Structure 1
Amino acid sequence: MFQASEIKRLIETGLPCEFVMIEGDDGVHFSGIVVSAAFDGKLKVRQHQAVYETLGKLMGNEIHALQLQTYTPAKWAEARIELGL
């Protein structure tokens, strides 16, 4: 079983982030929010790929699924109000 805290640590180590929140309680299925200036000008699919790259071979193995919401800092300023965070 994998811990959400370890996924958060790996993402923060591999990508400059302003905010990362990862949740999951079964050890293989996770969801999360990642906010990074590195996402500026990138399509959502490229943003998600950048996050998956930080996890390497864990994706599809130890981590069966990771549902992501990715934001640039500007978009996060708007979205966090809507999400109540």
Structure 2
Amino acid sequence: MADPTPDDVQRFIAQGLACDHIDVEGDGRHFFATIVSAEFEGTTRVARQRRVYQALGDRMREQIHALSMKTLTPAEWARSTTAAEPGAASAHHH
């Protein structure tokens, strides 16, 4: 079986978890995912990761060898993206 692509992993997660945003990077064996879901409201980091693994099901054992993830609620995602913008914009001024 061919190694999954980042797009495959993104699709697998989206099929099992309602997400506002997913971004997956990787090389076929090791992946890093940023996952934003309202389902993460009021849950711990461990519970969020468990929920992603549940969405992936058997694929986690059979196809995906390593998955690192950042799990955020929509509110956390909004804070992280707005916090990054001023710094990113000012870094380009000379």
Q: Distance in 2 between matches of 1:31 and 1:47?
A: 15
Tell me the amino acid that sits aligned with residue 43 of structure 1: T
2:24 to 22, 29, 34: 22
Identical amino acids, percent of aligned pairs: 39
1:40 match:
41
Rg larger for: 2
State how many pairs are aligned. 83
In the TM superposition, residue 83 of structure 1 has moved relative to its aligned partner by 5.1
Deviation per CA, 1:9-41, whole angstroms, max 9, x where unpaired? 11111111000000002x110001000000000
Partners of 1:42 and 1:34 in 2: how far apart? 14
Q: Distance in 2 between matches of 1:62 and 1:74?
A: 32
Aligned pairs for 1:6-85 within 5 A: 6-25=8-27, 27-82=28-83
Gaps of 5+ in 1: none
Root mean square deviation of aligned Cα = 1.3
